């Protein structure tokens, strides 16, 4: 049932000989209330609950491990098996509590085919796409697990495993439920999709009536440099990517976010900063600088003076810029701390810090 739209659930109710409004009640119970079993849906008649338990199933992602950081961040390892046709998969979801809100970082694919050189998920290759239900389920379970301390505002960031725009249909289907005021009721202002720069996906997203904010993983100041750390740049070079960004129809309250992981000695020079300013000229954008966290990859963290110099150079040219320090470093939930072995699989989350704003 998870991942079904209100319309589909209404049709499903009809197919059971029930009035269509029962479908809306199920939709509300599943997504607005986060109920994880039919027996808990007490707004439905007992007979229907029993019938649903026979003919349908709510298969929530199952927590197989969780790691709690000293700063309150919780990293969940979920086992997913939405149906018998789908390969079992393991992904991560990170819950970050703050004073007035929580941010949940979710995965959209198990593994990833994009091959960014600073990301260990890339070494897995693509295992499989997640279904809409598996994407929505991560938010429901993470919220339920923290119900006692939940703040009124939830932010979601699609920045976990996978490239969201390469699993477009399932991601959009999930977002329609997540952002639906009658569904999980997350505000589009509090939802961010992060992409490595899949231009056709950005163009499609621009056409959607319901869409989150858009973040682009930039990470370099020239094509040569970007291709070296993000080979996807060969297919969608900076000119094409930034052209799609310039055409992207921003809502009045919206800015594009550009994430820039600072890799010591590689992309953190003053020349890089000046080139970034030029690249982003004429874009309503903000830049999140994310100092690299030590991981099992041949990069090093940037020098603190370089970080400040980079930030200052951007700010002086009028570019809105923030330095984002990672959370959950002690449980390997932080941006760039990508190496983690779970059941013989390297699992990672990326760009996490960029979300917390
Ligand atoms: S950074 Fe994102 S898009 Fe790039 S390989 Fe890792 S998961 Fe895929």
User: Does the C-beta of 290 come closer than 6 Å to ligand 1?
Assistant: no
Please work out whether the CB of residue 162 comes within 6 Å of at least one atom of ligand 1: yes
To the query of whether residue 335 is one of the catalytic residues in this protein, the response is yes
Q: Is 349 close to ligand 1, i.e. is its CB under 6 Å away? A: no
One digit per residue, the tens of pLDDT, for the chain of length 357 reads: 999 999 999 999 999 999 999 999 999 999 999 999 999 999 999 999 999 999 999 999 999 999 998 888 999 999 987 566 667 788 999 999 999 999 999 999 999 999 998 887 888 899 999 999 999 999 999 999 999 999 999 999 999 999 999 999 999 999 999 999 999 999 999 999 999 999 999 999 999 999 999 999 999 999 999 999 999 999 999 999 999 999 999 999 999 999 999 999 999 999 999 999 999 999 999 999 999 877 777 888 999 999 999 999 999 999 999 999 876 655 555 443 333 444 333 333 333 333 334
For ligand 1, the distance from its centroid to the CA atom of residue 36, given in whole angstroms, is 31
- Kindly state if the Cβ of 219 falls inside 6 Å of ligand 1: no
Query: Measured between alpha carbons, how far is residue 88 from residues 78, 81, 234 in Å?
Result: 10, 5, 32
The C-alpha atoms of residue 5 and residue 117 are separated, in whole angstroms, by 37
Cα 123 to averaged position of ligand 1 atoms, centre (Å): 10
Whether 92 is catalytic: yes
Best residue among 121, 128, 234 to mutate for probing ligand 1's pocket (most ligand atoms within 8 Å of CB) is 121
Position in ligand 1 atom list of the atom nearest CA 163: 3
Residue 230 Cα: closest atom of ligand 1: 4
Q: Of the residues 162, 168, 293, which should be mutated to test ligand 1's pocket, given the most ligand atoms within 8 Å of the CB? A: 162
215 ligand 1 Cβ < 6 A: no
């Amino acid at each position: 049932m998870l991942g079904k739209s209100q319309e589909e659930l209404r049709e499903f109710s009809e197919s059971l000989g029930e009035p269509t409004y029962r479908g809306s009640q199920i939709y509300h119970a599943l997504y607005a209330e986060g109920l994880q079993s039919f027996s808990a849906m007490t707004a439905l008649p007992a007979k229907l609950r029993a019938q649903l338990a026979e003919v349908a199933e709510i298969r929530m992602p199952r927590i197989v491990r969780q790691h709690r950081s000293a700063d309150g961040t919780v990293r969940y390892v979920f086992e997913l098996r939405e149906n018998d046709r789908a390969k079992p998969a393991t992904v991560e979801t990170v819950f970050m509590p703050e004073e007035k809100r929580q941010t949940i970082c979710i995965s959209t694919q198990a593994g990833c085919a994009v091959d960014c050189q600073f990301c260990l998920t890339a070494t897995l290759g693509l295992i499989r796409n997640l279904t809409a239900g598996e994407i929505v389920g991560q938010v429901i379970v993470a919220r339920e697990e923290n119900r006692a301390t939940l703040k009124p505002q939830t932010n979601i960031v699609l920045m976990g495993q996978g490239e969201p725009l390469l699993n477009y249909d399932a991601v959009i289907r999930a977002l329609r439920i997540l952002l639906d005021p009658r569904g999980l009721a997350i505000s589009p202002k509090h939802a961010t999709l992060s992409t490595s720069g899949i231009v056709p996906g950005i163009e499609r997203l621009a056409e959607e009536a319901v869409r989150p904010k858009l973040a682009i993983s930039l990470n370099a100041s020239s094509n040569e440099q970007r291709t070296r750390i993000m080979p996807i740049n060969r297919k969608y070079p900076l000119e094409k990517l930034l052209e799609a960004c310039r055409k992207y129809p921003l809502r009045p309250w919206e800015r594009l976010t550009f994430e820039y992981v600072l890799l010591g000695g590689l992309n953190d020079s003053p020349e890089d900063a000046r080139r970034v300013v030029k690249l982003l000229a004429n874009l309503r954008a903000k830049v999140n600088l994310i100092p690299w966290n030590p991981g099992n990859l041949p990069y090093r963290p940037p020098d603190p003076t370089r970080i400040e110099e980079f930030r200052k150079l951007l700010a002086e040219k009028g570019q809105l810029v923030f330095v984002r320090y990672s959370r959950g470093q002690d449980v390997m939930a932080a941006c760039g701390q990508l190496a983690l072995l779970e059941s013989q699989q390297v699992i990672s989350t990326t760009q996490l810090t960029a979300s917390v704003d």
